[in-house]
Amino acid sequence: MNINENFLKIQSSYLFSNIAKKVREFSEANPDADIIRLGIGDATRPLPEAVTAAMHRAVDEMGTLDGFRGYPPEYGYDFLLNAISENDFKARGINIGADEIFVSDGAKSDTGNIGDIFSNANTVAVCDPVYPVYVDTNVMCGRAGEAVNGKWSNVIYMPCTAQTGFLPELPAQKADLIYLCFPNNPTGMTIDKKNLQRWVDYANENGSVILYDAAYEAYISDPEIPHSIFELEGAKTCAIEFRSFSKTAGFTGVRCAYTIIPKELTFGGVSLNALWARRQATKFNGVSYITQRGAEAIYSPEGKPQVKAVIDYYKSNASTISEGLKSLGYEVYGGTNSPYVWLKAPDGMASWDFFDLLLNKVQVVGTPGSGFGPSGEGYFRLTGFGSAENTAKALERIARL
């Protein structure tokens, strides 16, 4: 019997599991340490009241003979699909039908699983640094090739560095599948319509598919920055978009997201909407009624301002971090239309050395930039997802370094 040997090629532990283990070990050795966690981008504010009220009502319904529901529809309840279509797309002048939306348990799952519908012969392009899920899942299925000097042989790395303004450049060779994430995780940088249009045009000219992760779109306040790739001319024939309620409404523990695959989108002459529908119907049993009612409430008149207040709270933290670090002389990026702040480790330090320094000396946890790819070396990520008090405290501690 053989296992999938691709798993042996990959680092045994996922980036954020690795960090959690290091923090746990530190905490066990220093039980009195007051650790401030600004590492993983996990929500800390409570769910909006409109969401919990809707979930309570749904629980009560499920306890009645008439209101009980078994398996949810594979792709989402109509009430949520319609709310998404109306509020996230029609309201921005984009026409996305309910049958182009697939509700799921997370953008991590969807960006990881989407590879199921593509051949391993495709060449993949990723930004560098990058959300590790895109690369790791391509390694797991054997599409990434072999590891050579810290890079995968069948992956095109598009450096996003201070020199490129943290934007990827169009690849010189043909990329079949292009992962883009804006606002970006980890750098917190954004892309404007003009620049994104170049990617859409490239994809249409080359028959590529853009896998567009817009999990952080709710953090955009600049009107020049698109919330959806489908705001761009021609995107429906070349893009899949991933959205999440995790960072929008604190659903990291509740689990609900959605993926848009336009009907017009084909690859090798085949409808990707139909393939993904088949994949999901076979491997996924839908998101609970209670969760979907909670998600629907985000779009209600009460829910909207409550959600906005939480996002404003995290954005204010991100601004506290980025302004605070700048005043301390750090080189800082992101943090305005994004919950993430990307900084250069001081004095040419390596990312993990800076991680150890912060943890050991001032008990602040962040994420080493090198964990996101070779071009992340020497950088570090902090998130706005902590409490305002802890965020301010973390800055005071960093100032003491």
In terms of CB distance, is 41 or 294 closer to ligand MLT?
Answer: 41
Pair 269, 258: CB distance under 8 Å: no
In terms of CB distance, is 40 or 51 closer to ligand MLT?
Answer: 40
DSSP state, residue 95: -
Shortest CB 123 distance to ligand MLT, Å: 25
Q: How far is CA 1 from CA 4, 5, 177, in A?
A: 10, 11, 32
Which residues lie below 8 Å from residue 172, measured CB to CB, with a gap of 6+? none
Identified binder of ligand MLT from the candidate list 37, 41, 118, 368, rule CB under 6 A: 41
Note whether 40 binds ligand MLT by CB under 6 A: yes
Shortest CB 70 distance to ligand MLT, Å: 29
In terms of CB distance, is 41 or 286 closer to ligand MLT?
Answer: 41
Pair 112, 137: CB distance under 8 Å: yes
Task: Identify which of 148, 149, 198 has the alpha carbon closest to the alpha carbon of residue 178.
Answer: 198
In terms of CB distance, is 188 or 324 closer to ligand MLT?
Answer: 188
Pair 196, 182: CB distance under 8 Å: yes
Note whether 293 binds ligand MLT by CB under 6 A: no
Given the rule CB under 6 A, which of 34-42, 89-97, 260-268, 272-280 is the region that contacts ligand MLT? 34-42
Shortest CB 148 distance to ligand MLT, Å: 26
Pair 180, 208: CB distance under 8 Å: no
Beta-carbon count within 10 A of 23 CB: 19
* Footprint on residues 182-221 left by ligand MLT (CB under 6 A): 185
Shortest CB 19 distance to ligand MLT, Å: 9
Shortest CB 246 distance to ligand MLT, Å: 6
Note whether 317 binds ligand MLT by CB under 6 A: no
* Footprint on residues 62-91 left by ligand MLT (CB under 6 A): none
Shortest CB 131 distance to ligand MLT, Å: 6
User: Where would I find the beta strands (DSSP E) of 80-218?
Assistant: 101-104, 124-128, 147-148, 151-152, 155-159, 177-181, 209-213
Torsion of CA 126, 132, 138, 143, to 10 degrees: 50
Q: Cα–Cα distance between 31 and 53 in angstroms, integer?
A: 38
Any bridge partners for residue 210, and if so which? 178, 239
Shortest CB 247 distance to ligand MLT, Å: 7
Total residue count of the chain as it appears in this document: 401
In terms of CB distance, is 40 or 189 closer to ligand MLT?
Answer: 40
Identified binder of ligand MLT from the candidate list 37, 108, 236, 255, rule CB under 6 A: 108
The residue whose Cβ lies closest to ligand MLT is 41
Give contact residues for ligand MLT (rule: CB under 6 A).
Answer: 40-42, 108, 185
